Amino acid sequence: MNIVVCIKQVPDTTDVKIDKKNNTLIRSGVKSIINPYDVHAIETGLQIRDELGGKVTVISMGPPQVKESLKEAVSLGVDEVVLISDRAFAGADTLATSYTLAKTIEKIGEVDLILCGKQAIDGDTAQVGPGIAEHLAIPHCTYIKNITEITEKSITVQRKIEGGFEIVKLQLPALLTVNKEINEPRLPSIRGILKAKEIDVPVWTANDLVLDKAAIGLDGSPTQVVSIATPEINIKGDIFKGTPEEQVNNLVKIFCEQQILG
């Protein structure tokens, strides 16, 4: 089984602060981690490989410091890693990101299974996984909480939906995005840590991939973030006064007015 896992390096969100003067994100001094859901995607890949043989390649698009996250993946026992990094990729939205990752996967070639996290904890869109699958013209399935069967030709999964789950069978090659409940990630092994120390992470640039340069980076991104603000909510709270009945009525009234309960 030839497996590719896509990981994103993200800031440790509880540390994210906003510069209230300029409404920009303060990124300096913020620790970077592998997107928490992606750690579960790596574990999924490793478990399948350990059972069926094959190899796990972890890829990530981002600036040079993402090498650290890829080394962490090596310490967990993955076989290969690739950093996709080039100024030309900067400013990519989910369409351009998924296109670039799809082109990377095409270059790796003969891939049976692609694994992503449910969503990234910074961008929070959950759009990159299905986007990659579309660019590669393969099936996908989101919010996977369990894999019940895997053969050379197909994979059967449990997909979480509102109020339950679906059991879906996909022909391979396919792409899955995984929830945290799918598994308990392993810790790095001593052998892995030693391997990670020695590895020289390969970097692919735009020139290493066969792609349409108009479809990558900022130019290839239809969406644009035009402003960022801290939400007003949680800043000034309404503390109700009066009897319990009055307070409850006030709360329910706000629920109704603002359509908070749907």
Partner 1 sequence: EKEEKTKDFSDYKNVWVFGEQREGDLNSVVHELVGQGRRLANKLKENLSVILPGYQNIAQAKELINYGVDKVYLIDKKELAEYNDEYYTYVMAELIKKYNPSIVLMGATTIGRSLGPRVAARIKTGLTADCTSLDIDDKSKILLQTRPAFGGNIMATIVCKNHRPQMATVRPGVMKAAEKRENYEGIISKEDLDLSKVILKTEVIDIVREIEDSINIAEADIIVSGGRGVGSGENFNLIRELADTLGGAVGASRAAVDSGWISHDHQVGQTGTTVAPRIYIACGISGAVQHLVGMKSSDIIIAINKDPGASIFNYATYGLVGDLFKIIPLLIEQLKSGATIKESAASFEK
Per-residue binding string, ligand FAD, 92-111, x by CB under 6 A, is xxxx-x---x----------
Interface region with ligand FAD, contact rule CB under 6 A, candidates 4-12, 151-159, 184-192, 249-257 = 4-12
The two three-digit tokens of residue 39, written as one number: 């750690």
Among 78, 92, 170, 209, binds partner 1 (CB under 8 A): 170
| Cα–Cα distances in angstroms (integers) from residue 163 to residues 3, 150, 168, 238, in the given order | 31, 25, 16, 32
Residue closest to ligand FAD, measured at CB: 123
Residue 7 burial by Cβ neighbours in a 10 Å radius (0-12, 13-18, 19+):
buried
Min separation Cβ 30 and ligand FAD, Å: 14
Interface region with ligand FAD, contact rule CB under 6 A, candidates 89-97, 150-158, 200-208, 250-258 = 89-97
Residue 40 burial by Cβ neighbours in a 10 Å radius (0-12, 13-18, 19+):
buried
The span from the first CA to the last CA of the chain, in angstroms, equals 44
Place of tokens 């890693």: 81
Alpha carbons 82 and 62: distance in angstroms, whole number = 11
Interface region with partner 1, contact rule CB under 8 A, candidates 49-57, 69-77, 196-204, 240-248 = 240-248
Looking at residue 179, the DSSP 8-state letter turns out to be -
With binding defined as CB under 6 A, does residue 43 bind ligand FAD? no
Nearer of residues 102 and 170 to ligand FAD, judged by Cβ: 102
Among 90, 108, 165, 195, binds partner 1 (CB under 8 A): 165
Q: Which residue(s) pair with 17 in the sheet?
A: 26
The two three-digit tokens of residue 253, written as one number: 């009234």
Per-residue binding string, ligand FAD, 120-159, x by CB under 6 A, is x-xxxxxxxx------------------------------
Min separation Cβ 43 and partner 1, Å: 16
Min separation Cβ 205 and partner 1, Å: 21
Of 186-225, binders to ligand FAD (CB under 6 A) are: 223, 225
Interface region with ligand FAD, contact rule CB under 6 A, candidates 36-44, 45-53, 183-191, 238-246 = 36-44
Nearer of residues 83 and 155 to partner 1, judged by Cβ: 155
Closest CA to 222 of 87, 96, 88, 130: 96
Looking at residue 189, the DSSP 8-state letter turns out to be P
With binding defined as CB under 6 A, does residue 112 bind ligand FAD? no
Alpha carbons 123 and 96: distance in angstroms, whole number = 14
Closest CA to 80 of 104, 98, 52, 100: 104
Among 2, 35, 44, 69, binds ligand FAD (CB under 6 A): 35
Could you count the other beta carbons within 10 Å of the beta carbon of residue 67? 20
- Crossing angle of the two packed helices 94-108 and 128-136, in degrees rounded to 10: 50
Binding site for ligand FAD (CB under 6 A): 6-8, 35, 37-38, 41, 60-62, 92-95, 97, 101, 116-117, 119-120, 122-129, 223, 225
